[in-house]
């Protein structure tokens, strides 16, 4: 139950990372102040915050099996039926983008991608949106004609930026409302199809998501720990994924970061600015990019490449080694 030595920065010679983790044990007791879990929604923890550990998670092939279904690599690795795996992946992909387009403005926001849900909130004037008509406010036409949404982050006029901010605010509201009731967002027919698809994916992947959720749940239950998600998926489809894989209880929307524009290392730096340097960061992922970013910032890295890695992580958390 140890983090491999080669996954840590070679200059970190003061003490082993697991020793450091033990010394600063993130335990549900641990002298933590009693408080509601709602504080995790605070983008900037107060200086006297008792937060001790931040778990920075990758999404695809770490918490969920998705991309490797589409490519067939999961089926090949685990001796599953490749056509069935690819079909399940395509069905889930369709559901993700359908949710993103239908409920989360992805048609409007695809070219206006942000790293974090609050990145344009300063342009929001707080207007009541209960009777606001997104369909007729002219945002999409203006964006199309003026090419205002560019990857370089070129900003449009005040009116356009406000409409952009309104959309991200509504996404935030939708997430908050439906993160524990995705079926209510989808409606009865799509809900049944979603539950069936989830069951089929879980069966094919031998309960991969269920095993990941066990670790996420333990961390979420601790008052001095927090889960943060960093994914290469664009922010809006990432939010759709989190909803459809029932991860909303583990990740407040403020804890979801998209690395599409700035890379995972850029996201890690933003997360460190947010939570400070007194906490211990533990990176959980399967890819080279998050591993290299972890090494650069002296963060312990827990590699997920199989079911056994997920089970070992759960055991380490259950016995409070992590």
Q: Is 309 annotated as a binding residue?
A: no
Q: How far apart are CA 283 and CA 4, in angstroms?
A: 13
The 3-state secondary structure of 29-96 reads CCCCCCCCHHHHHCCCCCCCCCCCEEEEECCECCCECCHHHHHCHHHHHHCCCHHHHHHHHHHHHHHH
Active site residue 60: yes
Q: Which of 22, 60, 108, 159 is catalytic?
A: 60
Q: Is 159 annotated as a binding residue?
A: no
Q: How far apart are CA 87 and CA 69, in angstroms?
A: 8
Query: And the tokens for 80?
Result: 């599953």
Q: Is 128 annotated as a binding residue?
A: no
Q: Which of 48, 50, 58, 159 is catalytic?
A: 58
Nearest alpha carbon to residue 167 among 229, 103, 115, 231 = 103
Q: How far apart are CA 41 and CA 5, in angstroms?
A: 34
Helix axes 235-244, 158-178, angle to 10 degrees: 10
Q: Which residues are catalytic?
A: 58, 60
> Which positions make up the binding site for Mg(2+)?
58, 60, 286
């Amino acid at each position: 139950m140890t983090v491999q030595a080669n996954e840590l920065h070679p200059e970190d010679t003061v003490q082993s990372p697991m020793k450091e983790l033990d010394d600063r044990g993130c335990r549900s007791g641990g002298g933590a102040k009693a408080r509601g879990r709602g504080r995790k929604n605070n983008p900037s923890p107060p200086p006297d915050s008792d937060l001790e550990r931040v778990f920075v998670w990758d999404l695809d092939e770490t918490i969920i099996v998705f991309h490797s279904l589409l490519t067939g690599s999961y089926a090949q690795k685990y001796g599953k039926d490749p056509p069935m795996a690819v079909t399940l992946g395509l069905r889930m992909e369709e559901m993700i983008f359908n949710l993103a387009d239908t409920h989360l403005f992805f048609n409007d926001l695809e070219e206006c991608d942000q790293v974090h849900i609050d990145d344009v909130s300063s342009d929001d004037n707080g207007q009541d949106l209960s009777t606001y008509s997104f369909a007729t406010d002219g945002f999409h036409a203006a964006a199309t004609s003026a090419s205002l949404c560019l990857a370089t982050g070129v900003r449009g006029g005040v009116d356009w930026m406000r409409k952009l901010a309104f959309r991200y605010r509504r996404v935030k509201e939708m997430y908050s409302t439906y993160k524990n009731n995705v079926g209510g967002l989808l409606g009865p027919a799509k809900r049944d199809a979603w539950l069936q698809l989830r069951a089929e994916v879980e069966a094919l992947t031998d309960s991969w998501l269920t095993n990941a959720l066990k670790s996420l749940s333990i961390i979420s239950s601790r008052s001095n720990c927090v889960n943060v998600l960093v994914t290469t998926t664009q922010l809006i489809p990432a939010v759709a994924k989190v909803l459809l894989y029932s991860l909303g209880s583990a990740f407040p929307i403020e804890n979801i970061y998209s690395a599409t524009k700035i890379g995972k290392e850029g996201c890690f730096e933003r997360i460190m600015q947010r939570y400070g340097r007194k906490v211990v960061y533990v990176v959980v992922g399967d890819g080279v990019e998050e591993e290299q970013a972890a090494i650069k910032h002296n963060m312990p890295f827990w590699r997920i490449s199989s079911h056994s890695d997920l089970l070992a992580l759960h055991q380490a958390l259950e016995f409070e080694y992590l």
